[in-house]
Chain A
């Protein structure tokens, strides 16, 4: 596979078009007050103009001392950008729902390790699911920010939500 094809794997081009979870409305994106258990974050890559607003809802975040039952109930986003940033957001939305906050935080960390590895670490499909297909991005340092955009937003939103 050429370097370009390893960057733009079929699964990525499909996810970029599918835009799973990209249902955040303009009103939601503009919200100032968020319900409890909800976090929201706007991220912009000023270099290329990629932009995302991501909302994350944690259910049972605060149900009387049983945090074990806390789960990501919803991950919604809106945004505009290159296929890498859009595919990455779409994949994350599919993966995150149903995870515990700890699992999601761990997933984000794993993904970051792969992205920062300059290609030395290939993502494990068992752990990262479709996000493993983004491993090729790590060989293109200028694009790592694109791939990380939604994940950085999710990290911040998660912190607010729990």
Chain B
């Protein structure tokens, strides 16, 4: 079995020279866009793939492609080994065991799986073990004001189906969570506490262990949206103490169509399934079925096998580069982004000011210029950023905005990328005649 080798966190910090070597592993980054070298600052939306990930997928299709967990022929055995090795690798990457990692299409699918499993536990009889997940009127689900829609709407829908009430922890003006409010909102009625590790807009890194402790003291299940953390910092779900966590492969150098839901083994084994069908059962009669333990009970139907294999290659690549180094490098880029933006007239950065901890991203407002126009202007200079509400409308409303522009960095961005971006942003207001 391929496991993760010793991490490289003993090696020195990442530098521009090292990052330039890393960039060579990413074929897409070498191109020119609109006559300029591509400056890709949209990894918060989706990241790029190194050659080893592309090759892993191709190698699988060329040598081992077959259905997994069914059939006894050699290819089927090879494919099953590759698929389950991939699971063990990605599980180890987040500090979990392979029994605790369910493949999903992406984080959104993982969070919906979980919400529907709670829903299924709330109607009819799904067994004594599942009763702990049943929700009804009087129960509360707590989220935060900074959630991505993927970690908000599934809970709204779960409340609608079960009669439970949705509450939220507000943010303070500096973009951090109001932890005093959290302590009073999370209480005996709280059954689920769901929040993001890193805000995809503010760059805020939430105090996960502290919040998880609050949730557990109240007897709630704690759900982490790890979409913006699994790719960017050393993630250890056991150390953080969360019960469930969801993330997407495409944001961590992997392909689209694959992500994962982590759940503590005893919880996943008790949770009713969401999708039902082939590959997730033990005994089936015409009247009823019995289900496999996790993770298979949540993986009905043919799975995204090559994508799982490629995601494991991405996890190995990240691990070998060193998640601690990646996090430290991105933190530097994040500070450079914010300090540079704050120095430009008419720019308001959302979230923590320069000097305060944040992830390697920055969203901002340009006075007098709509985000869509900012993004268009930057694109003409070969700079790719995200514009819009970034699937966080309630957060933007709280900030008095309908849209913002976001630059988000990854391990393949140099300080030159950040500087090229800042130079271009400095020209925006002049171009649109509002400076």
Contact = CB atoms under 8 A, between A and B. Distances in A.
A2 B372 contact: no
Main secondary structure of the interface of A (DSSP, over half): mixed
A119 interface: no
Interface string B239-252: 00000000000000
A51 B402 contact: yes
- Residue from A8, A17, A51, A140 having most chain B Cβ neighbours under 10 A: A8
Interface residues of A, number: 20
B293 interface: no
A13 B373 CA distance: 11
Contacts of A2: 380
B387 A48 contact: yes
B376 A49 contact: no
Contact of A3 (B34, B388, B432): B34
Contacts, number: 45
Contacts of A51: 402
The range of chain B's interface size is: 10 to 19
Contact of B388 (A4, A13, A47): A47
Given A3-B380, A48-B387, A82 B431 contact: no
A83 interface: yes
B12 interface: no
A8 B375 CA distance: 13
Contacts of A3: 34, 380
A4 B387 CA distance: 17
Contacts of B403: 48-49
B401 to A, nearest CB: 9
B124 interface: no
B380 A4 contact: yes
Contacts of A50: 372
Interface in B368-397: 369-373, 376-377, 380, 387-389, 393, 396
A48 B391 CA distance: 10
B346 to A, nearest CB: 15
Given A48-B371, A49-B403, A143 B389 contact: no
Given A3-B34, A49-B402, A83-B432, A140 B376 contact: yes
B355 interface: no
B431 A8 contact: yes
A7 interface: yes
B379 to A, nearest CB: 9
Given A3-B380, A48-B372, 9 more contacts: A7-B376, A8-B373, A8-B431, A49-B396, A80-B402, A81-B370, A82-B370, A83-B369, A84-B372
